[in-house]
Amino acid sequence: MSDHHTHNHSHSHNDLKGRNLFISILLNILITVAQVIGGIFSGSLALLSDALHNFSDVISLVVSFLANKLAKKQASLHRTFGYKRAEILAAFINASTLIIVAVLLIIEAVKRFRNPEEIESNLVIWLSLLGIIANGLSVLLLKKDSEANMNMKSAYLHLLTDMMASVAVLIGGLLMKYYQVYWVDSVLTFIIGLYLIWMGFDLLKNSTKLLMLFTPDTIPIKKIVEEINGFETIKNVHHVHVWQLNEAEIHLEAHIDFNKDITLSEFDVILHEIEHLVFHKYDINHVNIQPEFGKDDAKDVIVQD
């Protein structure tokens, strides 16, 4: 089997990703500490909720940072795939925490809405501005990598939603300062919570699919089987598995029943043609084919192992 795997990131780019994540971690620790202190002294639930979200950002960024480091470790006899799925696991954890934090915020917002309290708005305004600036810088640092990496996207979403939450807190602070509308603090917290659930659900769904080895949505197995069955020497394609190891690798495994007892060199030629087909048409870059001739086994496309 020839290998069509392409390396999308150089070591220097991985180091840059790690550095950007580390800077974002430090910025979010600063924001979290400042907002917790400010939230306690001001009495603002929105500010405390933003601080809680920032704390979840710190955890998610640390998870992403560690996953980024693990993903670069070499494979071994005990870990033949290395740690290539570490970043997928990190994305799943981060999406889960995003939704959990959101639910906690919504519960607290409902409680506070029933009993609104006077809030020190000046402190809320200045600390929300700090959150916007620091999270905005972190968002810019991670934006490029978030477009091609699920782990980085999960960290990016945490930071982006927190920046937007800080904007909402700033608006609330201004309304409380000039109009004494204190119930807006709870309403904004509730909206922030709903937005976090909306943002986190899609990422949670996609990372779960990868962890469960589901076939990627972009891969039409029936069509691929039909195209391979179209080869003159091939009688049947069966026992097919397609899964995504990580965001750079899609694997195809199948049994192929041949019309005649071909030689290994003839098989290699056909295998190369199959690899070329699925790589250039469907971005499948790892192919593992089991050749068969007259073997008495199940010939269904999908066979339960």
CATH fold label, 221-292: Alpha-Beta Plaits (3.30.70)
CA distance 285 to 282: 9
What lies within 8 Å, CB to CB, of 51 at 6+ separation is 31, 32, 35, 36, 38, 39
If we measure between CA atoms, which residue out of 230, 223, 202 comes closest to residue 284?
Answer: 223
Return d(Cα 3, Cα 1) in angstroms, integer: 7
Nearest to 253 by CA among 209, 301, 193: 301
Would you state the structure tokens that stand for residue 241, as one six-digit string? 């598995």
Q: What is the pLDDT of residue 251?
A: 96
* 251 vs 265: CA distance, rounded Å: 23
**Does residue 121 sit in helix, strand or coil?**
helix
Could you read off the pLDDT of 229-273 as tens digits, one per residue? 999 999 999 999 999 988 789 999 999 999 999 999 999 999 999
Q: Alpha-carbon distance 87 to 280, whole Å?
A: 26
- Using 50, 70 and 90 to split pLDDT, how confident is the model at 16? low
Tell me if domain 11-211 and domain 221-292 are identical in fold: no
State pLDDT tens for residues 152-189: 888 888 788 778 878 888 888 898 888 888 788 788 87
Quick one: pLDDT at residue 14? 61
Q: What is the pTM of this model?
A: 0.75
The residue among 102, 98, 108, 103 whose CA lies nearest residue 186 is 108
297: left (phi over 0), alpha (psi -120 to 50) or beta: beta
- Domain spans in the chain, listed from the N-terminal domain onward: 11-211, 221-292
Tokens 């999908």, residue?
A: 302
Write out the CATH class of domain 11-211. mainly alpha
Q: Is 249 helix (H, G, I), strand (E, B) or coil?
A: strand
